């Protein structure tokens, strides 16, 4: 098994292998950064990554950064993941509440431009 932190150094063919990538992101969510683009767009792979490390959301395909379920999983892991979500999802009250209630990392107004902030 490839440890997630070593995933950066594996051959491109392995980065496109769903089983290997899944194992890597479950041990180190940030391994999603080095996954093949098709796997960065894979909902199951991305969910595993953000459950391990919320900030892995930044490496997900744009469509998944706007998927409420994926975003909520990331926020449960790390509220600071809010900075990686789409503009549209930032308008969702439940998303903002999840970020504010996150145990790891608190919502910081600096992650959302003032004109979009719910505090403004």
Per-residue model confidence as pLDDT tens digits over 6-18 = 898 999 999 999 9
CA dist., res. 2 & res. 8, Å (int): 10
CA dist., res. 19 & res. 21, Å (int): 6
Give me the pLDDT at residue 56, please: 97
Mean pLDDT of 62-88: 94
Q: What is the pLDDT of residues 10-44, one digit of tens each?
A: 999 999 999 999 999 999 999 999 999 999 999 99
Greater confidence (13 vs 120) lies with: 13
pLDDT higher than 90, residue 67: yes
Determine phi and psi for 17, rounding to 5 degrees.
-85, 120
CA dist., res. 112 & res. 83, Å (int): 7
- Which residue, among 50, 47, 42, 38, has the nearest Cα to 13 in the 3D structure? 38
SS3 62: coil
Query: Quick one: tokens of 84?
Result: 């990686």
User: Is the model's pTM score more than 0.95?
Assistant: no
| Cβ burial 6-23 (10 Å sphere, 16+ → b, else e) | ebeebeeebbebeebbbb
Give me the pLDDT at residue 3, please: 60
């Amino acid at each position: 098994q490839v440890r997630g932190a070593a995933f950066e150094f594996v051959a491109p063919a392995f980065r496109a292998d769903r089983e290997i990538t899944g194992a890597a992101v479950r041990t180190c969510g940030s391994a999603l950064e080095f996954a093949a683009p098709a796997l960065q767009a894979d909902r199951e792979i991305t969910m595993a990554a953000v459950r391990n490390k919320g900030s892995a959301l930044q490496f997900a395909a744009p469509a998944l950064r706007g998927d409420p379920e994926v975003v909520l999983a990331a926020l449960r892991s790390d509220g600071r993941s809010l900075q990686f979500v789409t503009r549209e999802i930032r308008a969702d009250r439940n998303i903002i509440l999840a970020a504010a209630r996150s145990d790891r990392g608190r919502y910081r107004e600096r992650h959302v431009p003032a004109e979009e902030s719910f505090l403004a």
